[in-house]
């Protein structure tokens, strides 16, 4: 997401954090808010949403060297009335 998108629709609540040694961290989170700004594929709806997700950060020499993220895109679109 770009900075404009973040300002328009996001509250992020970390629910759980796992640390696997010194080389990775997993974070389970929930993002919620009101869809008040246009997205590339969806004009603003004014609807509230709440979706779960996870982010995995990978470290090398005590610095983030990569990450993987997954969240419920279908659930978001369903809550927006697309489906």
Digit-coded pLDDT (tens) for 43-64: 999 999 999 999 999 999 989 9
Please give the pLDDT value at position 74: 95
**pLDDT tens, residue by residue, 60-77:** 998 999 999 999 999 999
Q: Domain residues for 70?
A: 3-79
Confidence category of residue 7, pLDDT binned at 50, 70, 90: low
The pLDDT of residue 70 is 97
Alpha carbon 28 to chain centroid, angstroms: 10
What proportion of the chain, given as a percentage, has pLDDT over 90? Answer: 65
CATH number at residue 64: 3.10.450.50
User: Which phi and psi angles does 55 have, rounded to 5°?
Assistant: -130, 135
What the block records as the tokens of 58 is 């990978």
Into how many domains does the chain fold? Answer: 1
Q: Long-range contacts: 7-12, Cβ < 8 Å, 24+?
A: 7/37, 8/35, 8/36, 8/37, 8/44, 9/33, 9/34, 9/35, 9/36, 9/37, 9/49
């Amino acid at each position: 997401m770009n900075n404009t998108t973040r300002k328009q629709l996001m509250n992020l609540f970390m629910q759980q954090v796992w640390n696997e040694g010194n080389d990775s961290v997993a974070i389970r989170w929930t993002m919620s808010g009101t869809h008040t700004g246009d997205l590339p594929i969806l004009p603003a709806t004014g609807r509230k949403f709440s979706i779960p997700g996870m982010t995995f950060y990978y470290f090398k020499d005590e610095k983030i060297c990569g990450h993987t993220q997954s969240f419920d895109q279908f659930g978001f679109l369903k809550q927006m009335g697309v489906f």
